[in-house]
Chains A and B, each alone.
Chain A
Amino acid sequence: MTATAADVRSILSIQAHFVPSAAAKKQSTSQAKKPEGISRELYSLIGPSAPSLAAQLQKPQLKQKPRLGSSAVRWEWRKFRNGARGDSLELGHWVKATADPDTEYPFSKYNVQTAHFIYSQDEYSKHLEVDPEWTKDETDYLFNLVREYDQRWHIISDRYDYPGGPHRVMEDLKERFCNVCRRLVRDRPWAGDEASRVQLISTFMFDKERELIRKRYLANLDNRTPREAEEEEALYLEVKRIEQNERKFKRDREELLRTLAGIDSGLPDIVEDELPTILFDSKKKKKGGLDADSPSTPVSAAPPKQRPQPSPRNPVYDALHCITHIDLPVTTPATKAAHQPSFLRTYKLPVPKAAVVPKISQTLAEINISYNRLVMPTEGNVARLNALIDATLPLVETKRVLDKVEYDIKVLKERLNVRSSAPVEEEAGGVVDAADGEAIEGTEEGRAQSVVSTRSTRSRKQRRSVSVSSVDTTGAGTSRPPPKRQRRN
């Protein structure tokens, strides 16, 4: 609502006579300045007092005209395949005819798959069996659900129904899932650098208590009645107002005391606690600086005498002189016993346990790495070899467990085969016997021969003894085949 000069003039109609002459006078001096885009009449009316309006008139800001000259772009209905789909479903969509038909479906990249963790029995018993409330079966069940519903926790907690398990709220499930994932990331060998590992671990941080409190708080907020909400709002405003008043009051008082008595009021601060203390600190520093200037306490001059190094941590200097800094725990005692004598880097090459050395050396030899030698045993390379061997240990361990499981499977399969073949033979005994008859006969013949031969030698040996023994041997000979035949089955 700004009044223009014209308005003023129209209101003060008495002075209207003078205006033209004054405007004319002004015009004569400032005619050259008349901006373009305003008619002379208008300008003479409004005078130079409304340049903003003139500027607006001067260049009308219009939308650019659409370029209609070029022909319309053609759109086509084309079939496409979504690369993110597992099946080869073909759908159609409208695309510009100019688009390259071979380009990948642009939205397929948004189908992000989260990495799913799975763990072996061995890993579970080693690292994950920490929560007595969870069994492996239930954890498996949880992980399957998480995979199935792609970490959509509301669905997971809705569908979660582990037979025989206790009731679990969403936070319980999340906590378990995050704990397991975190442990797996932490305990498994990591191919990348430490920072990415720490970052990944931090994504699996889950504070169940905090989450529960947060949800409860939100629920409380949501359950307020409109009246309560209003009251809260009013109270909040009131508090703000009081605070503001207090601050103002304090400022006034401070000012008054300073002007009258030249001292601080000593009133407790309300909000701006920091400001005065900073001021105070700086005063202190100034005082300290003054003290340091006086020759009685040359505190700042003393340290350089003790430590003449140019600067304690200068990367360039350190690299030049091959210096590395160790961050000491503050508590290490400065005793002689704590001193670590000098060593050659090769002394610090990792030494795996004797029991796993052959496996490790073999595994690493397959990828052309010597487990106990380095060409350039620098600090970094020794650490790298260490990390490599640390990563190889679980590999060797997994191989061992895998072998064991494979062996168990073999044994079980064999047992199953035995069991499944045994009843078949019993049922169709005649057929099998007929089929196997020859083989059995053959073997029995051989066995009989051998029995005969042993019997003959035995009988030769035992000829001198009583004939009872020979009867005994024949008895053994007849009773032997059946158990052997059983074993064959």
Chain B
Amino acid sequence: MADRVRVRGLSIFRPIIYGNTATLLTPEERAALDPSRHEHTHRWTVAVRSAASVPDSDVVGGADDLSYFIKRVNFKLHDTYNNPSRVVDKPPFEVTETGWGEFDILIRITYIADSGEKASSVYHHLKLHPWAGPGEPEIPSMDVALKAGPVHSWQYDEIVFNEPFNSFLHTLTAHPPTPLPKTKRRPVPFHIAYPDTLKDTRLAETPEFSQEMEKEEADRLEQAKKKVVAEQEQLRNTLIEKEKELQELQKLVGPNS
């Protein structure tokens, strides 16, 4: 009975990533495909994983097994796929498919019954083509894509449980997540919110999330805020000057109008 008590004033989160990795199929692979899929050009894997990566692996994230709090993950693929709603109820929570086009995948994460929480849903845009900088074609030619290697599109996120049940809190604390590496050891996973990392997508290594990325973003936001406040300050001064000018003009115009 005591286990069904919520721990007040506490929230606990688990870092996860969701997204996909895509590789271009070689001509041989394409030939080996089912005739109904002869148009498919890519093999992709969409997944929900823990944020930290296994050292020296070519998989983004996935250092921890998330099944201690995730019961099931649904991936809702494009309707043109057979059986578009894929249910994965044991780790690894991922779906590998072939295809030719990008589309939005609805990912629905269901937690274990003990958590007493409802499922959470997120959309992920399946990314097949290499990230393009400004001026570059969105869908580059085969040669360019081949040279670019696997395409990674991952979003870091944190699942927050507010005032969890005592038993669930136990379960969670029994599985502390592997902390992200403090510094960047491998390329940064590209994110459209920060296009400066585009050059990292040109590197052959598998990207990895790190605490440094978080810190960098924090700095970026702080800098931006400083800039905004400075600009606001400057604008305010101009505004005050203009207001004075306006007042004088009004005085000039005022008596006659």
Contacts and interface: CB of A to CB of B under 8 A. Distances in A.
Contacts of B170: 308
Given A367-B227, A402-B242, A412-B246, A395 B235 contact: yes
Nearest to A364: B224
A329 to B, nearest CB: 10
B194 to A, nearest CB: 5
B127 to A, nearest CB: 14
A252 interface: no
Contact of A321 (B9, B176, B194): B176
Contacts of B5: 306
A406 B225 contact: no
B111 A398 contact: no
Contacts of A305: 2
B239 interface: yes
B228 interface: yes
Interface in A345-389: 345-347, 363-364, 367-370, 373-381, 384-385, 387-388
Contact of B193 (A345, A375, A388, A401): A375
B183 interface: no
B232 A120 contact: no
Given A381-B221, A398-B235, A402-B235, A345 B192 contact: no
A402 B7 CA distance: 51
Contacts of B226: 191
Interface string B205-226: 0000100011001101110111
Given A322-B15, A375-B213, A413 B118 contact: no
B224 A344 contact: no
B218 A409 contact: no
A399 interface: yes
Interface size class, chain A: 35 or more
Nearest to A377: B157
Interface in A306-355: 306-309, 320-328, 334, 339-347
A350 to B, nearest CB: 12
Interface stretch (B74-82, B91-99, B158-166): B158-166
A406 B242 contact: yes
B163 A339 contact: yes
B83 to A, nearest CB: 26
Best-surrounded residue of B163, B209, B243 (most CB of chain A within 10 A): B243
Contacts of B213: 375-376
Given A191-B225, A373-B192, A321 B243 contact: no
A380 B157 contact: no
B120 A342 contact: yes
Contacts of B161: 342
B249 A416 contact: yes
A161 interface: no
A405 B230 contact: no
Contacts of B249: 409, 412-413, 416
Nearest to B117: A342
B221 A384 contact: yes
A328 B8 contact: yes
A303 to B, nearest CB: 12
Given A325-B9, A373-B193, A405-B246, A415 B253 contact: yes
Interface string B1-26: 01001111111111100000000000
B256 interface: yes
B139 interface: no
B228 A391 contact: yes
B32 interface: no
22 contacts: A120-B239, A120-B243, A122-B239, A309-B173, A321-B173, A322-B176, A324-B12, A342-B162, A343-B159, A344-B157, A344-B160, A345-B157, A370-B192, A373-B192, A378-B158, A381-B218, A384-B218, A388-B225, A391-B232, A395-B231, A401-B239, A419-B253
9 closest A-B pairs by beta carbon, nearest first, are A373-B193, A370-B193, A384-B221, A191-B229, A376-B214, A412-B249, A342-B117, A375-B191, A345-B158
